[in-house]
Amino acid sequence: MTKEREQKLKLVAKQRQKNIAVILEDLHDPHNAAAILRTCDAFGVQDVRFIFEQEKPYNPRRVGKISSSSANKWLTIKTYKSTAEALLELKKEKFKNAETLLNSESVTLSKIKFPEKVALWLGNENRGLSPLAQNSADLKIKIPMRGLVQSLNVSVTAAILIYEITRQREQEPQLISKQDQKNLLETWQNK
């Protein structure tokens, strides 16, 4: 590994955010997932979790290599067989669940203050989030739209929300520990 490459990896590890998990519930299109992985890497979100309860599972590390620009190999990815299993683990880890929902309880994105530990849920391209996920939402968010279309592609929604969480943290960034940085570097140096 060149000295320049090692310095780049150290810089990226140092900028990784803690306390953000992106949860992809039953995403059908691996290319959408790959685009979300690319956004996560770009904004320093390390923790991405896939749920394959209704959709046929695919390997997030093998799909979308071009559309993710190989971001999938730099992220920590976990998969679950059920939404209930993911929710239980997130609860144990004390995450608050943030979801985009089109209902009367949803709050416009600009009025949302994201909690310190946030799990950002994104659902299936056609069905959206499961009823179980929707009922577990701590934050119900709507992205204001001025056109006739009432929804965005899931990868675009992810990018907007991840950007907003990162923007809110600019004054007081929540970055991973030095030990976690070291662990990431050890993992990355083997890739």
Question: What mean pLDDT comes out for the span 59-87?
Answer: 84
In angstroms, rounded to a whole number, what is the distance separating the alpha carbons of residues 160 and 153?
A: 11
Distance CA 162, CA 178 (A): 23
Q: pLDDT for 120-135, tens place per residue?
A: 999 999 999 999 999 9
Angle made by CA atoms 42, 47, 53, in degrees to the nearest 5: 120
Tokens of 164: 């907003």
Q: What percent of the chain has pLDDT over 70?
A: 97
For the chain, give the mean pLDDT: 93
Give the strand pairing for 139-142 and 76-80.
unpaired
Residue 65 sits at φ, ψ, to 5 deg, of: -55, -40
Higher pLDDT among residues 87 and 190, named by residue:
87
Bigger pLDDT: 183 or 150?
183
Q: Summarize pLDDT for 82-115 with one digit per residue, the tens.
A: 999 999 999 999 999 999 988 889 999 999 999 9
Dump pLDDT digits (tens) for 35-58.
Answer: 999 999 999 999 999 999 999 999
**How confident is the model at residue 62, as a pLDDT?**
79
Q: Would you state the pLDDT for residue 4?
A: 93
Please state, as a whole number, how many other Cβ atoms lie within 10 Å of the Cβ of residue 167: 11
What CATH code is assigned to 17-174?
Answer: 3.40.1280.10
**What is the Cα Rg of the chain in Å?**
16
- The whole-angstrom separation of Cα 186 and Cα 9 is 10
pLDDT at 72: 84
Q: Is 26 helix (H, G, I), strand (E, B) or coil?
A: coil
Kindly tell me if the per-residue pLDDT of 153 is higher than 70: yes
0.75 exceeded by pTM:
yes
Q: Nearest 10 degrees: CA dihedral of 47, 69, 152, 86?
A: -20
| 17: Cβ contacts below 8 Å, ≥ 6 apart | 43, 44, 45, 46, 166, 169, 173, 174, 175, 176
